[in-house]
A = this chain, B = another copy of it.
Amino acid sequence: MKTYLEKSREELLSLKSSLEEEYKTQEAKGLSFNMARGKPGASQLAISMPMLDVINGDSDMNTLLGNDTRNYGDWDGIGECRRMMAAMLGVKKDNVIVCGNSSLNIMYDTVVRSMVKGVCGSVPWCKLDKVKFLCPVPGYDRHFKITELFDIEMINIPLGEDGPDMDMVEEYVNNDESVKGIWCVPKYSNPTGISYSDETVKRFANLKPKAEDFRIYWDNAYCIHHLYDDGQAEILNILEECEKAGNPDIVYMFGSTSKISFPGSGVSAIATSLKNMDYIKKFMTTQIIGHDKINQLRHSRYLKDMDSLKAHMKKHAEILRPKFEAVLTILESELAGTGIGTWTKPKGGYFISFESLPGCAKDIVAKCRQLGMVLTEAGATYPYGRDPQDSNIRIAPSFPTPEEMTEAAKLFVLCVKLSSVEKLLADMDD
Interchain CB contact (< 8 A) of A72 among B39, B52, B127, B282: B39
Chain copies in complex: 2
Chain B nearest CB: distance from A62 CB in Å? 11
Q: Is the CB of A101 within 8 A of B71?
A: no
B-chain residues with CB within 8 Å of residue A287 when the two chains form the complex: 104-105, 108-109, 146
Q: Is the CB of B102 within 8 A of A101?
A: no
Which of these binds chain B: A5-13, A290-298, A307-315, A350-358? A290-298
Q: Is the CB of B70 within 8 A of A288?
A: no
Q: Is the CB of B104 within 8 A of A101?
A: no
Which single residue of chain B is at the shortest CB-CB distance from A111? Answer: B116
Question: Is A384 positioned at the interface, with any CB of B under 8 Å from its CB?
Answer: no
Question: Is A115 positioned at the interface, with any CB of B under 8 Å from its CB?
Answer: yes
Which of these binds chain B: A42-50, A163-171, A328-336? A42-50
Which of these binds chain B: A53-61, A202-210, A403-411? A53-61
Which of these binds chain B: A183-191, A262-270, A374-382? A262-270
B-chain residues with CB within 8 Å of residue A265 when the two chains form the complex: 69-70, 292-295
Chain B nearest CB: distance from A97 CB in Å? 15
Question: Is A124 positioned at the interface, with any CB of B under 8 Å from its CB?
Answer: yes
CA distance A58 to B51 in the complex (A): 11
B-chain residues with CB within 8 Å of residue A155 when the two chains form the complex: none
CA distance A145 to B283 in the complex (A): 10
Q: Is the CB of B56 within 8 A of A116?
A: no
Most buried by B among A57, A68, A71: A71
Q: Is the CB of A71 within 8 A of B290?
A: no
Question: Is A286 positioned at the interface, with any CB of B under 8 Å from its CB?
Answer: yes
CA distance A70 to B258 in the complex (A): 10
Most buried by B among A104, A265, A288: A265
Which single residue of chain B is at the shortest CB-CB distance from A41? Answer: B71
Q: Is the CB of B264 within 8 A of A70?
A: yes
Interchain CB contact (< 8 A) of A283 among B61, B68, B149, B293: B149
Question: Is A279 positioned at the interface, with any CB of B under 8 Å from its CB?
Answer: no
CA distance A102 to B286 in the complex (A): 12
Question: Is A92 positioned at the interface, with any CB of B under 8 Å from its CB?
Answer: no
CA distance A48 to B71 in the complex (A): 12
Question: Is A400 positioned at the interface, with any CB of B under 8 Å from its CB?
Answer: no
In chain A, residues 241-290, which have Cβ atoms closer than 8 Å to a Cβ of chain B?
Answer: 262-265, 282-283, 286-290
Q: Is the CB of A150 within 8 A of B42?
A: no
B-chain residues with CB within 8 Å of residue A423 when the two chains form the complex: none
Q: Is the CB of A292 within 8 A of B289?
A: no
Question: Is A301 positioned at the interface, with any CB of B under 8 Å from its CB?
Answer: no
CA distance A359 to B89 in the complex (A): 52
Chain B nearest CB: distance from A292 CB in Å? 5
Which single residue of chain B is at the shortest CB-CB distance from A38? Answer: B72
In chain A, residues 17-47, which have Cβ atoms closer than 8 Å to a Cβ of chain B?
Answer: 37, 39-40, 42, 45
With A126-B126, A262-B294, A286-B108 as contacts: A57 and B52 at CB distance below 8 Å: yes
B-chain residues with CB within 8 Å of residue A138 when the two chains form the complex: none
B-chain residues with CB within 8 Å of residue A113 when the two chains form the complex: 112
Question: Is A100 positioned at the interface, with any CB of B under 8 Å from its CB?
Answer: yes
Question: Is A117 positioned at the interface, with any CB of B under 8 Å from its CB?
Answer: yes
Chain B nearest CB: distance from A390 CB in Å? 24
Which single residue of chain B is at the shortest CB-CB distance from A107? Answer: B287
- Which A residues lie at the B interface, using CB under 8 A? 37, 39-40, 42, 45, 48-53, 55-59, 61, 68-73, 100-102, 104-105, 108-109, 112-113, 115-117, 124, 126-127, 142, 145-146, 149-150, 262-265, 282-283, 286-295
Inter-chain pairs besides A48-B70, A71-B262, A101-B291, 18 sampled, C-beta below 8 Å: A37-B72, A42-B68, A45-B70, A49-B57, A50-B57, A52-B55, A52-B59, A53-B57, A69-B265, A70-B263, A71-B264, A102-B289, A104-B289, A108-B288, A149-B283, A264-B291, A264-B294, A265-B295
7 A-B pairs whose Cβ atoms sit less than 8 Å apart in the complex: A39-B71, A45-B61, A45-B70, A72-B263, A102-B288, A149-B286, A264-B292
Q: Which 4 A-B pairs have the closest CB atoms?
A: A126-B126, A265-B294, A53-B57, A108-B287
